[in-house]
Amino acid sequence: MGVCMVEIELKKILLEKGIIKFKLYSLNYTIQNKDGGVVIFVDSYKYSEKSYNNIDELLRTYKVYNEPLIDIIKNIKLINS
């Protein structure tokens, strides 16, 4: 499985800005650098913050509707300007 353009764009934004905002299905999400790692949370449920060592680990292990984010990455709509 190769790297798709959405994955490349996510990594680029995180590197440049330190934060990514995106919509996936009906929810808005935030990924940001924090304490030497990366966190993700649903904007309306910030208490649900999950921490990962890096963006690659997050993409492989964070699940939405029981699917790893990397498998549904093409459904992401970036909100970042």
Predicted confidence at residue 52, as pLDDT, reads 98
Tally the C-alpha atoms within 13 A of residue 76's C-alpha that lie toward its C-beta. Answer: 25
pLDDT tens by residue, 18-30 = 999 999 999 999 9
- Please provide residue 59's backbone torsions phi and psi, each rounded to the nearest 5 degrees: -65, -35
Q: Which two tokens stand for residue 52?
A: 């990962």
pLDDT tens by residue, 28-40 = 999 999 999 999 9
pLDDT tens by residue, 51-60 = 999 999 999 9
How far does CA 38 lie from the centroid of its chain?
A: 9
Entry pTM: 0.89
* Sheet strand arrangement including 27-34: 45-52, 37-42, 27-34, 19-24, 77-78
Q: Which two tokens stand for residue 64?
A: 């939405």
